[in-house]
Amino acid sequence: MPQHRSLTRRSFLAQSATAALAASIAPRAFAAAGKTPRILLRSSWQSVNIGDIGHTPGALSILTTHFPEAEVILWPGNLGHGSREMLTKGYPKLRIVEGSIDKEGKPTNDKLAQAWQEADLYLSGSGSGFPAANHAVAFHKATGKPVGVFGVSSDPISGFGTGRDPEGGTLNSLRERALQLPADHLSGDLRYIIDRAAFFFCRDSITRDYLKAQGVKSPVVEFGPDAQLGMHLRDDAKGDAWLAEHQLEPGKFVCVIPRLRYTPYYKIRKTEPTETDHAKDALNDRTTERDHAKLRDMMTAYIKATGNKVLVCAEMTYQVEMGKAVLVDPLPAEIRRNVVWRDTYWLPDEAASIYARALCVVSVECHSPLIALHQGTPTFHVRQPTDTCKGEMYRDIGAGEWLFEVDETDGAQLWAKLAAIHRDPVAARAKVKSIMTFVADRQKHMVDVARQAIKA
């Protein structure tokens, strides 16, 4: 077991006793005060990715399970592609307030201002790089109330910009380079709010260790699983109907999800490409075929050995057509007959229903595997070096055996691991259950800390 993961588990055990005591006292304190604790959840960053959609019901599920006396007010970024309807159906009492902040850091409408006034805690949902950190700063300065963070990543190495590496690197490389940065590397705005955060849960231990090396002053800087791992919504009626229509039998198909090394947001948002966008396109053009040839080799081996089917599907909108182009069309006809291409985007509740029926989910994207794990399904994350440090979360939760660095992996290795799951799916699902037991314990700890922050 890697040292950083064992530290994650040891620190959890040490802290959980204290948090459990606080949690046992806090509900009585709120009841005695006659006040409903209110949490302003900042989440739903975008809707072109079922991972970003799923963060919100994941956080809501964790909070309602472990802090049922609290009222959660959602402050979303974007609720398109049917995500608003999914949330209101799943959480009919959910209050949603929208808007932004003006140049003075004040809410841009009365409903949002009222939510700021009523909230006892600003809670930032999972995402990359502390999304909307300026909103957290504005809330804290205006109200003096606590701010907390539920499972984010902060990668100081990967990407475009001064001092960053567009090629990224392996997770081991990112950890090593992050810890070599000077102690004043963290930007002033981020340091301001992290220093003042009541708690800051990092969804990967690379982020946690980087922030600790930067000397941030938040009293709680710990590993906390991505909120997606709490997403319990399912649409079995829609999912089962789709599986029946495409003759996919439960336990006899594998889902495969592609990804470009850099998401072409300018194409998604229909804006003019920048010089950086052109550089990202060039990197994608150079790497897409070699990344996905390995997946095709695995798919071919699986189909030849079992006669079963493969479902090619998407986590982001752009990957619908991409899946056909890089995973389906290049296959020989005799293999392609056993491949089903999903030609539409979907919501995470339908994806969860279908992933639950799969033998395994194999994804270059990071969040479909998390959806699958919550449903009890074994899953592989085939990580690209540009996809930040968030993939370390798989080692942190005990799923390191199913984490692959794409540049260090070939199709034969993927098939060998998949073949083991095919031979003994019961053992693989038992492993998932063990992973999710640790995740559930950690989620409860996160909520206990949030409750204590409100109480304090």
Q: What is the dihedral of CA 393, 20, 74, 146, to 10 degrees?
A: -100
**Rounded mean pLDDT, 28-48:** 81
Q: What is the CATH number of the domain that holds 415?
A: 3.40.50.2000
pLDDT for residue 264 is more than 90? yes
Q: What does each C-alpha distance from 361 to 127, 295, 326, 341, 357 come to in angstroms? A: 22, 12, 17, 15, 10
Q: What is the CATH number of the domain that holds 176?
A: 3.40.50.11720
pLDDT for residue 302 is more than 60? yes
If asked whether residues 116 and 251 sit together in one domain, one would say no
What is the residue-averaged pLDDT of the chain?
93
If asked whether residues 307 and 186 sit together in one domain, one would say no
The two three-digit tokens of residue 348, written as one number = 């995470």
Task: DSSP for 268-333, please give it.
Answer: HTT----HHHHHHHHHHHHHHHHHHHHHHHHHHHHHHHH--EEEE--SBTTHHHHHIIIIITTS-H
CA distance 341 to 254: 12
125-147 core/surface letters (b: 16 or more CB in 10 A; e: else)? bbbbebbbbebbbbbbebeebbb
pLDDT tens digits, 214-254: 999 999 999 999 999 999 999 999 999 999 999 999 999 99
If asked whether residues 263 and 338 sit together in one domain, one would say yes
Measured in whole angstroms, the distance separating CA 268 from the mean position of its chain's CA atoms is 20
pLDDT tens digits, 312-355: 999 999 999 999 999 999 999 999 999 999 999 999 999 999 99
Q: Which DSSP symbol is given to 258?
A: -
pLDDT for residue 14 is more than 90? no
pLDDT for residue 30 is more than 90? no
If asked whether residues 310 and 242 sit together in one domain, one would say yes
pLDDT for residue 31 is more than 70? no
Number of domains in the chain: 2
Q: Which DSSP symbol is given to 229?
A: G
If asked whether residues 173 and 273 sit together in one domain, one would say no
86-122 core/surface letters (b: 16 or more CB in 10 A; e: else)? bbeebbeebebbbeebeeeeebeeeebeebbeebbbb
Say if CB 383 and CB 405 are below 8 A apart.
Answer: yes
Q: What range defines the domain where residue 147 resides? A: 3-230+438-455
**Rounded mean pLDDT, 392-397:** 98
CA distance 141 to 122: 12
Sign for the pseudo-dihedral over CA of 445, 4, 437, 47: positive
If asked whether residues 251 and 205 sit together in one domain, one would say no
The two three-digit tokens of residue 31, written as one number = 């009841």
pLDDT tens digits, 176-206: 999 999 999 998 889 999 999 999 999 999 9
Q: Is 148 helix (H, G, I), strand (E, B) or coil?
A: strand
Tell me the sheet residues that pair with 253: 309
Residue found under tokens 């939510």: 115
Lowest mean pLDDT across 24-33, 140-149, 446-455: 24-33
The two three-digit tokens of residue 326, written as one number = 């890089």
If asked whether residues 194 and 342 sit together in one domain, one would say no
Query: Apex CA 161: angle with CA 158 and CA 167, to 5°?
Result: 35
Q: Closest by alpha carbon to 118, among 88, 139, 141, 148?
A: 139
If asked whether residues 285 and 391 sit together in one domain, one would say yes
If asked whether residues 255 and 275 sit together in one domain, one would say yes
If asked whether residues 220 and 345 sit together in one domain, one would say no
CA distance 211 to 258: 31
Other Cβ atoms less than 10 A from the Cβ of 255: the count is 26
If asked whether residues 73 and 117 sit together in one domain, one would say yes
For residue 226, the model assigns a pLDDT of 98
CB under 8 A, 24+ apart: contacts of 99-102: 99/75, 100/135, 101/134, 101/135, 101/138
If asked whether residues 449 and 302 sit together in one domain, one would say no
> Per 3-state DSSP, what percentage of the chain is helix, strand, and coil (rounded to 5)?
55, 15, 35
For residue 33, the model assigns a pLDDT of 57
Q: What is the dihedral of CA 86, 91, 92, 98, to 10 degrees?
A: -70
